[in-house]
Amino acid sequence: MGGSAFAGSLTVTVRGADGKPVPDSVVTVHPGGQPSRGPIKFPWPYRVAQQNIQFSPFVLIVPAGAEVAFPNLDKVRHHVYSFSAGNKFELKLYGREENRTVKLPAVGVAAIGCNIHDQMVGFIKVVDTPYAAKSDDAGVASVRDIPSGPVVVRIWHPYLRGMKNEKTLTTTAIGGGDSRETVSIELRAPAHH
């Protein structure tokens, strides 16, 4: 990653059907349409805190095989689980300031919940590419240092209508410099459970 003169960046602005920016969308770029062979390391912490009876962040991107920490910053106890195929786990009741880690091996998603607090919902997007970014409050996600050449770009959001909650962009190549795309996605209402 990085340093190559033959690299570019991609900035994607994600909007809903209503035109409003969509935060917490995950943009992944696969050069040549292929998964990465080397180790993947993101600069952000692989961590989902429980704070104010919510998961923080709501969406986290990690590479496959990452150890994710689940610190409990609340005074109450939580019981965090994922039923997602390949990334199932259960962290039985644990209290304030306690930390647990879980390894997430499968590329895809771990949808997380809490057995005690039904309103707690979060998502961990497990990826096989170092070229990934999450959209901010303005709906903007920037992926840097992508090798130039043909790419497959996907937009994922937990509530995106479509196969695997994903949409593939028509972007086909990265050149030098910054490529910009605006994508419109259709969201369904969040599921309650």
Q: Does 114 bind Cu ion (CB under 5 A)?
A: yes
* Nearer CB in complex with Cu ion: 64/121: 121
Torsions phi, psi for 177 (to 5 deg):
80, -165
Which one, 117 or 144, has the nearer CB to Cu ion? 117
Closest distance of CB 35 from Cu ion, Å: 34
29 near Cu ion, judged by CB under 5 A: no
The answer to whether the CB of 128 falls within 8 A of the CB of 36 is: yes
Q: Is 117 in the site for Cu ion (CB under 5 A)?
A: yes
Binding to Cu ion, residues 142-181 (CB under 5 A)? none
Q: How far is CA 193 from CA 10, 63, 113, 121, 123, in A?
A: 36, 27, 9, 9, 14
String marking each residue 42-81 x if it binds Cu ion according to CB under 5 A: ------------------------------------x---
Q: 175 by DSSP, 3-state: which? A: coil
- Closer residue to Cu ion (CB): 59 or 114: 114
CB of 6 to Cu ion, least distance (A): 48
DSSP result, 131-172: -EEE--TTSEEEEEEEESEEEEEEEE-TTBSSGGGEEE-S--
Using CB under 5 A as the binding criterion, the count of chain residues that bind Cu ion stands at 4
Nearest to 30 by CA among 189, 172, 137: 172
Q: Nearest approach, Cβ of 117 to Cu ion (angstroms)?
A: 4
| Separation of alpha carbons 85 and 92, rounded Å | 19
* Interface contacts to Cu ion, rule CB under 5 A: 78, 114, 116-117
